[in-house]
Amino acid sequence: MIKKHVAMALFFCSFLMLTSLPSVAGHVKGIYVTQYNFENTAFLNYLIKNAKNAGIDTFVIDLEKPSKRYKDNIGLLRDNHINYVARIIMFPNGGTPNQIENPNVWQKKYALVKQAVNWGANQIQLDYIRYNTKQKPSQENAKHVLAIISWYKNKISGQNIPLQVDVFGIASFGESKYIGQNIKLFSKSVDAICPMVYPSHYVPFPEHFKHPYDTVYVSLDHIKKQFGGDKMPMKMYPYIELSNYHYPMSHQKTLDYIQAQLKAVKDAGADGWYAWSPHNRYDNLFYILKNQKNN
- DSSP, collapsed to helix, strand or coil, labels residue 128 as coil
Q: Give yes or no for a contact between 224 and 269, defined as CB atoms under 8 angstroms apart.
A: yes
Q: Alpha-carbon Rg of the chain, whole angstroms?
A: 18
Above 60 in pLDDT, residue 5? no
pLDDT range class, residue 203, cuts 50, 70, 90: confident
Pairwise CA distance, residues 208 & 201, whole Å? 9
Confidence at residue 7, expressed as pLDDT on a 0 to 100 scale: 46
For the chain, the domain total comes to: 1
Calculate mean pLDDT across residues 57-63: 98
* pLDDT (tens digit per residue) in 164-178: 999 999 999 999 999
Confidence at residue 237, expressed as pLDDT on a 0 to 100 scale: 98
Above 70 in pLDDT, residue 19? no
Domain that holds residue 58: 2-21+26-294
* pLDDT (tens digit per residue) in 81-139: 999 999 999 999 899 999 999 999 999 999 999 999 999 999 999 999 999 988 899 99
CATH number at residue 175: 3.20.20.80
Confidence at residue 292, expressed as pLDDT on a 0 to 100 scale: 82
Calculate mean pLDDT across residues 205-225: 94
Q: Show Cβ contacts of residue 216 under 8 Å, excluding neighbours closer than 6 positions.
A: 197, 199, 238, 240, 260, 261, 264, 265, 268
What are the E-state strand segments in the chain? 28-33, 58-62, 83-89, 123-127, 163-168, 192-196, 235-236, 239-241, 272-276
Above 90 in pLDDT, residue 274? yes
Above 70 in pLDDT, residue 16? no
Q: Give yes or no for a contact between 167 and 196, defined as CB atoms under 8 angstroms apart.
A: yes
Q: What is the pTM of this model?
A: 0.90
* pLDDT (tens digit per residue) in 46-57: 999 999 999 999
